[in-house]
């Protein structure tokens, strides 16, 4: 199976979630998702840390006793590799995968100065990366954005993981698909996690729309991080080849109503999913016919040009690179959760790391004037 991908990897040093939140911070909790096993191996789970002012800190997996100190210079970045043995389900297709399981493998970063973090999971011919949001930007209610697992391939799964930042975090989950070895679609069940514990769920269906919330949603101290995607997905399912999808989910309180999209360079078009938070959500794309969605429902579409997506209620929008066979381009699926216009900023600093596997880098700039509806893409 040919799976080739060129990743664009940026460390963003200031991205708003809401007016009072950014992607920079001094405390982070996160996890990796399972990546499809490659016959040639080359598993590399890396943490990339950048700082405008320089920082010292430590990366650890408290439940496994592993840690590594780090120091990053002013306007610089560093990369730290996490041992594969500490990553859940990594190299696991020769054994029984962990699903509907709680384990002590949450990753924690603390720093003396603000830093920006993203994580990348690379296997030869299958990789993706996610920005990591600081603990201060996490929430207590999420809806999952993932992708459909390829029918007929039991080892290709849609997946999500949750990591707690507080002890006795009680979380209610209503999955949209049957969890392998666990609860069924539409059922509601509760798990309890302590700080650093993670819950893993996998399905041969599609977890998009899965609802996850703290049982005491009014307790502002209860928050947790959620990651979702696929170990290796075809996007769309009719178009080879498969690739890892890995993204941190944005809490529902940070969703927006207006989104701008920019086409991926050298592609004929990109796949998009629009996910509704509430019943009675009405979505339009470029002023077209209304799309009616209820809570947890999504609409998938293929867009070939820069577009404006608007809704009357908060939505989440994901952009997917399609399989290489769709347009004979050297790139396979990856997933990006888009930021709404409400979160746009006028200043950003980023760093692209050097690797022999990435031969080309692209930057898309999206702007919207304050007085008109003119969109500029570059």
Torsional class of 71: left (φ above 0), alpha (ψ -120 to 50), beta (otherwise): beta
Sorted by sequence, the CB contacts under 8 Å of residue 313 that are 6+ apart come out as 257, 276, 277, 278, 280, 281, 282
Prediction pTM value: 0.90
Structure token pair of residue 361: 């880098």
Q: Which residues pair with 256 in a beta bridge?
A: 315
Is 18 contained in some domain?
no
What pLDDT is recorded for position 42? Answer: 52
What pLDDT is recorded for position 295? Answer: 98
| Helix, strand, coil percentages for the chain (3-state, nearest 5) | 5, 45, 50
268 vs 266: CA distance, rounded Å:
7
315 vs 339: CA distance, rounded Å:
10
In 3-state terms, what secondary structure has residue 47? Answer: strand
Is 13 contained in some domain?
no
What pLDDT is recorded for position 366? Answer: 67
The CA angle 338-341-347, to the nearest 5 degrees, is 90
In 3-state terms, what secondary structure has residue 24? Answer: coil
Per-residue pLDDT of the chain (378 residues; tens, 9 = 90+): 333 333 333 334 444 444 446 789 999 999 999 887 544 455 588 999 999 999 999 999 999 999 999 999 999 999 999 988 888 765 544 445 688 999 999 999 999 999 999 999 887 778 889 999 999 999 999 999 999 999 888 888 999 999 999 999 999 999 999 999 999 999 999 999 999 999 999 999 999 999 999 997 666 778 999 999 999 999 999 999 899 999 999 999 999 999 999 999 888 999 999 999 999 999 999 999 999 999 999 999 999 999 999 999 999 999 999 999 998 887 889 999 999 988 776 666 566 666 666 666 677 666 665 433 333 332
Q: What is the pLDDT of residues 12-28, one digit of tens each?
A: 444 444 444 678 999 99
339 vs 342: CA distance, rounded Å:
8
240 vs 234: CA distance, rounded Å:
6
Yes or no: say if 200 and 115 are a contact pair by the CB < 8 Å rule: no
What pLDDT is recorded for position 163? Answer: 98
Is 307 contained in some domain?
yes
What pLDDT is recorded for position 342? Answer: 82
31 vs 88: CA distance, rounded Å:
9
339 vs 162: CA distance, rounded Å:
21
144 vs 104: CA distance, rounded Å:
22
Is 137 contained in some domain?
yes
Q: What is the pLDDT of residues 95-107, one digit of tens each?
A: 456 889 999 999 9
Is 64 contained in some domain?
yes
119 vs 114: CA distance, rounded Å:
17
Q: Which of 169, 126, 177 is CA-nearest to residue 148?
A: 177
CA distances from residue 299 to 91, 218, 253, 256, 260 in whole angstroms, order as listed: 34, 30, 20, 16, 16
Q: What is the pLDDT of residues 319-353, one digit of tens each?
A: 999 999 998 887 889 999 999 988 776 666 566 66
84 vs 112: CA distance, rounded Å:
27
Half-sphere exposure of 294 (CA within 13 A, CB side): 0
Is 17 contained in some domain?
no
Yes or no: say if 210 and 143 are a contact pair by the CB < 8 Å rule: yes
Is 6 contained in some domain?
no
Full domain range(s) for residue 348: 25-377
What pLDDT is recorded for position 116? Answer: 93
Yes or no: say if 178 and 205 are a contact pair by the CB < 8 Å rule: yes
Sorted by sequence, the CB contacts under 8 Å of residue 110 that are 6+ apart come out as 26, 27, 28, 57, 58
What pLDDT is recorded for position 98? Answer: 82
Q: Which of 2, 11, 3, 1 is CA-nearest to residue 363?
A: 11
Count of the separate structural domains present in the chain: 1
């Amino acid at each position: 199976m040919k799976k080739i991908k060129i990743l664009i990897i940026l460390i963003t040093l200031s991205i708003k979630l809401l007016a009072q939140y950014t992607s920079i911070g001094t405390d982070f909790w996160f996890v990796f998702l399972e990546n499809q096993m490659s016959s040639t191996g080359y598993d590399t789970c890396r943490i990339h840390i950048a700082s405008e002012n320089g920082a010292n800190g430590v990366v650890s997996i408290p439940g496994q006793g592993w840690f590594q100190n780090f120091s990053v210079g002013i306007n610089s970045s560093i990369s730290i590799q996490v041992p594969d043995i500490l990553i859940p389900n990594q190299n696991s297709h020769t054994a029984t995968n962990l699903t509907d399981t709680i384990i002590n493998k949450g990753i924690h970063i603390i720093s003396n100065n603000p830093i920006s973090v993203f994580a990348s999971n690379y296997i030869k011919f299958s990789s993706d990366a996610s920005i990591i949001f600081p603990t201060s930007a996490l929430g207590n209610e999420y809806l999952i954005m993932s992708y459909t697992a390829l029918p007929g391939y039991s080892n290709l799964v849609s997946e999500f993981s949750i990591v707690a930042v507080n002890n006795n975090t009680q979380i209610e989950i209503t999955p949209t698909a049957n969890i392998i070895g666990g609860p069924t679609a539409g059922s509601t069940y509760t798990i309890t996690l302590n700080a650093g514990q993670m819950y893993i769920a996998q399905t041969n269906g599609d977890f998009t729309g899965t609802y996850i919330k703290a049982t005491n949603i009014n307790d502002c101290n209860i928050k947790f991080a959620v990651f979702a995607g696929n170990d290796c997905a075809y996007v769309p399912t009719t178009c080879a080849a498969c690739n890892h999808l890995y993204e941190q989910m944005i809490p529902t309180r940070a969703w927006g109503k207006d989104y701008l999209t920019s086409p991926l360079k050298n592609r004929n078009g990109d796949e998009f999913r629009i996910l509704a938070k509430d019943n009675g959500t009405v979505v339009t794309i470029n002023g077209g016919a209304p799309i009616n969605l209820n809570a947890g429902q999504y609409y998938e579409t293929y867009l070939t040009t820069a577009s404006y997506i608007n809704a009357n209620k908060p939505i989440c929008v994901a952009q997917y690179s399609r399989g290489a066979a769709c347009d004979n381009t050297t790139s396979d699926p990856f997933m990006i959760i888009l930021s709404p216009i409400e979160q746009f900023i006028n200043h950003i600093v980023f760093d692209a790391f050097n690797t022999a596997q990435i031969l080309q880098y692209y930057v898309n700039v999206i702007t919207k004037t304050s007085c008109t509806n003119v969109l500029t893409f570059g």
